[in-house]
Every structure is written in structure tokens, then in C-alpha cells.
């Protein structure tokens, strides 16, 4: 085989190595994005978040790299000649050629895994949207941040509608507080991140067993407002039993009274809660 032939083989080999290295880097970035979305799926609901756009761009880039690799190997007569020349150069049964095939299979398995991860994320998001749509007519905990306020307010509202396209809830505050200037019932449009479904009264198994001293968000007895509280007894004998809680800033005679709150009026404390 002439020197120009060998030079061509080496040039194509370098290009293939470069493409495969770039594919590996893209796969690493895709897996990082999957882990990020799986850990914090609420990110995609935030206005201005472009996580899914970035993920789509990574998949598009990976597809282009894969097509370029195939084009170099099989897309023209030069590449076909390259394969036959490599077969002629390599002795039978060396570790190099099988190793190439194994690496190719690994690449395929990685792509299959990332495709499966993306499919699982898409299915989870779709299931979550269906679950939120089923909340119509139900009472939920809703977060409203008043203008010029430095804290969030949580209260019980009724779900009127959930728009899957905009991913917004339309809710009704059926019992606004005495300090509400408008008076009467009020409607709000809120993002998914501002809504927390309550455990179902008819299904105690949907309630959580919070460990003692953990913090929760609970409806203060006699009101429709939710406040941060500390669990006194997390291990209830029966799922239908009330939680015994101590609400923050609820001091009586220098101590925090312990108040019973129904299991279907207690939810986990949201991350980054401000109150």
C-alpha cells in the first residue's frame, strides 16, 4: 500500500476520533442536564428557563455528529475503500478491531440510555400535568406574593381551571381575610410552582409521616391561611389521626401551644419558603 493511502487512512482515523470524542462530551452534557431536570423538574415551569431548549440543542448536535461519523465510514467510495484497506493492514484476530466494535456498541447503548431518560422525563411531566388538571374543584395550598412584600403568603383556594398550554392555575380565594380591600371572593392566576395539592381526605395513605421536629406548612386552626409549623408527633398510630404541631410566632404565656391539625391540611415545607 502506498504512503498516500496510509496518510489518507490516518487522516480519516483522526477525524473519526475527533467526532467520537465530541460525541462523548455531548453525551456527558446531556446526562448532566437529565440529572438537573430530574432533581429539579420545577425548573421547566419557571418563566425564562431554557433547560428544554438546551437539551434539544444537545440532542440535535449529537445527531449531527453521529451522521457525520456514518458519512465518513460509509457515505462515499473513499470511505468504503478505507474500510477494506484497514482490513488488509490489520492481521486477523487483533484486539484493535473488536475493540472498535465494542466502543461503537457502547456509544449506541449510551444513546439508547439518554433517549430512555428523556422519554421518562417527558412521561413524568405529562403525568404531572394530568394530575394537576384533575385538581379542578379541589382545594389546594396556593402561594401569593403581595406587591412590595418580602414574604410569601399561603392560603387555601379552590381550583377553577388548569391550562396545560400556559401551565397556569386559575384559582378562587373563597374566604379572603378581613384586611382584603376588594372584599368578597378573589380570583388568581398562578404558576404550577405556586400550588401544592393537599393529601386527599378520602385517602389517608396520601398523607406523609413527618418525623418529629421537622418543619411543615399547615392550615392554622379556624382560618384558611397556612403557616410554618414544627411537628411534635410525626408517628401517628393511624393515618387518619391529626398532626400535633407548634406554629411559629404562636406564643401563649411565653411558650408555643401544641395544636391539632387534620392530616389533609398539612404539606411539606416548600424549598426556599419565605414567611
Contact assessment for residue 195 and residue 132, using Cβ atoms and an 8 Å cutoff:
yes
Place of cell 381551571: 161
For the cut 50, the answer to whether the pLDDT of residue 100 exceeds it is no
Contact partners, residue 250, CB within 8 Å, separation at least 6: 220, 227, 256, 257, 259
What's the pLDDT at 132?
83
Tell me how far apart the alpha carbons of residues 58 and 52 are, in angstroms, rounded to a whole number.
Answer: 10
CATH class of 3-133: mainly alpha
Tell me how far apart the alpha carbons of residues 57 and 73 are, in angstroms, rounded to a whole number.
Answer: 25
What's the pLDDT at 1?
47
> Residue 102 — very low, low, confident or very high, per pLDDT cuts 50/70/90?
very low
Contact assessment for residue 139 and residue 157, using Cβ atoms and an 8 Å cutoff:
yes
89: phi then psi, degrees, rounded to nearest 5: -75, -35
What's the pLDDT at 175?
80
pLDDT digit string, tens, across residues 119-170: 666 676 677 778 888 899 999 999 987 655 567 789 999 999 999 888 899 9
pLDDT digit string, tens, across residues 17-75: 787 888 788 788 887 777 777 777 666 666 666 777 777 787 777 777 776 766 665 54
Contact assessment for residue 268 and residue 217, using Cβ atoms and an 8 Å cutoff:
yes
Contact assessment for residue 176 and residue 196, using Cβ atoms and an 8 Å cutoff:
no
Sequence ranges of the domains in the chain: 3-133, 139-197, 204-268
Tell me how far apart the alpha carbons of residues 134 and 65 are, in angstroms, rounded to a whole number.
Answer: 42
Instruction: Name the CATH architecture for the domain at 204-268.
Output: Roll (2.30)
What's the pLDDT at 55?
75
pLDDT digit string, tens, across residues 182-196: 567 889 999 988 999
Contact assessment for residue 213 and residue 264, using Cβ atoms and an 8 Å cutoff:
no
Tell me how far apart the alpha carbons of residues 132 and 243 are, in angstroms, rounded to a whole number.
Answer: 26
Amino acid at each position: 500500500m502506498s504512503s498516500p493511502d496510509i496518510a489518507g487512512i490516518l487522516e480519516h482515523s483522526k477525524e473519526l476520533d475527533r467526532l467520537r470524542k465530541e460525541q462523548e462530551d455531548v453525551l456527558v452534557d446531556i446526562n448532566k442536564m437529565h440529572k438537573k431536570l430530574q432533581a429539579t423538574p420545577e425548573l421547566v415551569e419557571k418563566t425564562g428557563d431554557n433547560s428544554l431548549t438546551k437539551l434539544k440543542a444537545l440532542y440535535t448536535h449529537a445527531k449531527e455528529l453521529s451522521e457525520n461519523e456514518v458519512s465518513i465510514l460509509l457515505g462515499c467510495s473513499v470511505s468504503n475503500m478505507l474500510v477494506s484497506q484497514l482490513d488488509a493492514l490489520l492481521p486477523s484476530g487483533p484486539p484493535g478491531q473488536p475493540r472498535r466494535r465494542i466502543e461503537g456498541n457502547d456509544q449506541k447503548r449510551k444513546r439508547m440510555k439518554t433517549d430512555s431518560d428523556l422519554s421518562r422525563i417527558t412521561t413524568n411531566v405529562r403525568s404531572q400535568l394530568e394530575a394537576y388538571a384533575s385538581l379542578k374543584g379541589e382545594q389546594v395550598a396556593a402561594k401569593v406574593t403581595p406587591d412590595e412584600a418580602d414574604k410569601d403568603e399561603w392560603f387555601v383556594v379552590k381550583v377553577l381551571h388548569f391550562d396545560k398550554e400556559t401551565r397556569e392555575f386559575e384559582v378562587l380565594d373563597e374566604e379572603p381575610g378581613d384586611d382584603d380591600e376588594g372584599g368578597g371572593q378573589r380570583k388568581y392566576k398562578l404558576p404550577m410552582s405556586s400550588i401544592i395539592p393537599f393529601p386527599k381526605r378520602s385517602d389517608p395513605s396520601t398523607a406523609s409521616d413527618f418525623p418529629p421536629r421537622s418543619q411543615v406548612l399547615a392550615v392554622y386552626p379556624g382560618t384558611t391561611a397556612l403557616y410554618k409549623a414544627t411537628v411534635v408527633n410525626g408517628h401517628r398510630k393511624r393515618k387518619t389521626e391529626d398532626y400535633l404541631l407548634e406554629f411559629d410566632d404562636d406564643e401563649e404565656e411565653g411558650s408555643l401551644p401544641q395544636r391539632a391539625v387534620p392530616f389533609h391540611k398539612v404539606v411539606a415545607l416548600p424549598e426556599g419558603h419565605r414567611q
